[in-house]
Every structure is written in C-alpha cells, then in structure tokens.
Amino acid sequence: MRSLGISKICGVLLLLRAWLASAQPAAAQSGIGVISGWACEAEEIVIELNGMPLQAGYGTIREDTRSVCGDANNGFSLLWNWNNLGPGEHTVRALLDGVEFAHTTVRVTTLREEP
C-alpha cells in the first residue's frame, strides 16, 4: 500500500511527512520505470526491491510539497529496469533514514521468448 505519510506504532500516530508516489499497489510493471515520491527531510532514501537496498536520488524540486514541507527540494527517484527482477510479484519498500514509510507489492511482466 502507498504511504499516507502517517504510520501507527503502538497506537501512536507518527507524521513522517513522506510519500511513495509511484510503484502503485498490484500494478503491472515491465521494462524501465521510475520509483518516485517525496520526503520533507532525509539524509537518505533507500528503495528495497525484494530486500535488495538501492539508494534513490533525493533533493529534486517538487513545488507541490512546499505547503507540507516548507520548501520544495524534497523529491526522490530511482530509475529501475523491472525486468531485472523477473516475472511475478515483488515487494517494494521505501525507507527514510532507515525507517520504512511505505511498502507495496508490484507484478512484473516480461515478454515471452519464442522457442
């Protein structure tokens, strides 16, 4: 599921101020795509694909985050070839400074090779 920027831990709501915008739940992915979103403040954004950590670029301009974050240099993205994972369901986790703020499952489809 995509992050709403809010997590509930032991009955306490935490405002993380982060959002995974792409890699939609149960979405079909194939070929090269972008995993992206925003985070108000971060030293590091890591995207885990089936447990494999990949560092996303962070700090691109997102004017749509100014009202929430107080500035606009909050975008992150990771260019990825989904076919590297092979066909089937795969887990995507987004971590802000080591803390998960979003997770989802995507379905990768690849072209069939003819014998």
Structural domain count of the chain:
1
Segment 51-77 mean pLDDT: 97
Work out the angle at residue 62's Cα, subtended by the Cα atoms of residues 64 and 53, and round it to the nearest 5 degrees: 120
Q: What type of residue sits at position 42?
A: A
Tens digit of pLDDT for each residue in 2-59?
444 554 444 444 465 899 999 888 888 999 999 999 999 999 999 999 999 999 999 9
Look at residue 88 and give its three-state secondary structure: strand
- CATH assignment of the domain containing 26: 2.60.40.650
Look at residue 106 in the predicted model and tell me its pLDDT. Answer: 95
Structure tokens belonging to residue 10:
């032991």
d(CA 5, CA 27) in angstroms, rounded, equals: 20
In a domain, 1, yes or no: no
In a domain, 19, yes or no: yes
In a domain, 113, yes or no: no
d(CA 65, CA 27) in angstroms, rounded, equals: 25
d(CA 115, CA 113) in angstroms, rounded, equals: 6
- pTM for this one? 0.82
Domain that includes residue 101, residue range: 6-108
